DNA sequence: GTATTTCTTTACGTATACATTAAACTTGGC
DNA sequence: GCCAAGTTTAATGTATACGTAAAGAAATAC
């Protein structure tokens, strides 16, 4: 009997490890890597690495460029705008749908918890904890929205910009105002106010995006 | 010198062929297929087939189920609702953005052409031509929207529901009213009316979805 | 010195071989 | 007759082998 998680396929492991390496910056943006190099680094043959790169390519994290190695995709300011535009629409949709589904306090317990965690993290100025809670908040929100495709896209796009977000996390003001948005959204969902939920979250996202682009501009960052 | 299209990789070919087979129904929904079976049918080894199935899985067209063969994903009514919900949001966004980009008549020539083709197809009651033109219209619209990620998602989701759409194409009234929407949208984009473009297309999509679900309900279809 | 061509290298694409393991079948106990 | 344990089967997961073609290096012509 295996007390650990059941042994995953090597390919799945490669996807996981490579994703981590990309998000953490261990594989830096715009760097090229041969399949054989990655295979050696991961201690496996080229086959699972190849399969993993295909998957990661479809997730938008890298580009397979024959004979030049896979290139870790940089996230340009333009990319950020595209991603945030989609996230704004789809999350707002999810918020509205969630409000329309008649959730009660129990159903929203997880969401409420993420809000509390953000608040607490803000108090102790723990940016990492705040970022984690914020991501959980968004994940739970789209889950509540009940459209699995929306949830998938949001998850994928979050992966794409996570590195960028990490970079800016310590270079921006603490998002003290955003928690008001979160609470307001929670209330809108609980009270079933579809339009208000949509409105609040859309505004929240638009402001977050503006803040981010300003920070990037101030830092003179073109890509991450 | 090769006068044909430059020889594609076997994997790319497998993706293409399998996609065609799925969309055309040659591989029917809910059917299972072993890698070796598909490899033989396509006259290639398992390797490119495997890679293709990974890609098609990420496109949502099939599911890789170890030791049971890949399963061609059925499209349930629920799936259709999810997909159409996302398409509604993202295409409306694209319409609004397109309207905001100050396109002139020349820029909108392709869009205009697809509208003409739909009108003509309606006159001659050529449903296939209409469907093709309609799809081109939507593709061009999101291209004009200028957000490549939106365009990608829309393309992927269209693939997912194309089989369903083909099935209902001859079981529904000819969409005679929809062309008014298209013209109105064209004018809104040309005149730069962002809000109206959004509004028109959203309404258009909502009506199209309603029509489709009604047809499916009437036919008693649960999945396609 | 530069440009062109040939040669060499090498990374990838594909096929094949092999190991693994889930599922199916068989057999024996009850 | 039914269930469980063990065995067999076969499809996948992974590694490896090999041919091909692209990128780069070298050599030669100018």
**CA of B37 and C1' of D21: distance in angstroms?**
30
For residues A9-15, give the mean pLDDT: 94
For residue B23, give how far its alpha carbon lies from the nearest alpha carbon of chain A (Å).
Answer: 20
Nucleotide nearest to A46 (CA to C1'): D15
Chain A touched by B54 (CB under 8 Å): yes
Confidence of residue B142 (pLDDT cuts 50, 70, 90): very high
Q: Are A204 and A181 in contact (CB under 8 A)?
A: yes
Tell me which residues of chain A, numbers 145 to 174, contact chain B at a CB-CB cutoff of 8 Å.
Answer: 147-150, 153, 157
Contacts of B157 in chain A (CB under 8 A): 149
**Nucleotide at minimal C1' distance from the B34 CA:** D11
> What pLDDT is stored for residue A7 in this prediction?
67
- From the CA of A55 to the C1' of D10: give the distance in Å: 27
Q: Which of B54, B90, B149 sits opposite A55 (nearest CB)?
A: B54
**Does residue B58 belong to the interface with chain A, where contact is any CB pair within 8 Å?**
yes
At B86-99, the pLDDT tens digits run 999 999 999 999 99
Interchain proximity A51–B55, CB inside 8 Å: no
| Residue A4 DSSP class | S
Per-residue pLDDT tens digits for A46-87 = 999 999 999 999 999 999 999 999 999 999 999 999 999 999
- Residue in chain B nearest A153 by alpha carbon: B153
Enumerate residues 6+ apart whose C-beta is below 8 A from A14. A38, A42, A44, A48, A49, A51, A52
Q: Is the CB of A35 under 7 A from strand C?
A: yes
The alpha carbon of residue A108 and the mean position of all alpha carbons in its chain are separated, in whole angstroms, by 21
CA distance A202 to A89: 7
Q: What is the pLDDT of residue A188?
A: 97
pTM: predicted TM-score of the whole model, two decimal places: 0.91
Question: How far apart, in whole angstroms, are the C-alpha atoms of residue B23 and residue B177?
Answer: 27
Q: How confident is the model at residue B63 (pLDDT cuts 50, 70, 90)?
A: very high
């Amino acid at each position: 009997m295996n007390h650990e998680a059941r042994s995953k396929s090597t390919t799945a492991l490669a996807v996981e490890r490579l994703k981590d390496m990309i998000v953490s910056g261990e594989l830096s943006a715009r760097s090229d890597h041969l399949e054989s190099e990655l295979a050696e680094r991961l201690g496996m043959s080229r086959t699972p690495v190849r399969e993993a790169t295909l998957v990661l390519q479809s997730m938008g994290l890298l580009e397979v460029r024959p004979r030049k190695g896979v290139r870790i995709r940089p996230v340009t300011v333009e990319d950020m705008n595209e991603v945030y535009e989609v996230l704004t629409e789809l999350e707002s949709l999810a918020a509205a749908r969630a409000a329309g589904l008649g959730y009660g306090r129990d159903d929203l317990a997880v969401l409420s918890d993420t809000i509390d965690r953000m608040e607490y993290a803000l108090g102790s100025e723990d940016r990492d904890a705040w970022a984690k809670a914020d991501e959980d908040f968004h994940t739970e929100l789209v889950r509540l929205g009940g459209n699995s495709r929306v949830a998938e896209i949001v998850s994928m796009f979050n992966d794409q910009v996570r590195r960028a977000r990490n970079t800016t996390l310590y270079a921006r003001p603490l998002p003290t105002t955003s928690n008001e948005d979160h609470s307001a959204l929670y209330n809108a969902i609980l009270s079933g106010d579809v339009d208000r939920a949509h409105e609040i979250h859309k505004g929240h996202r638009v402001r977050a995006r503006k803040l981010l682009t300003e920070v990037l501009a101030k830092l003179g960052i073109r890509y991450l």
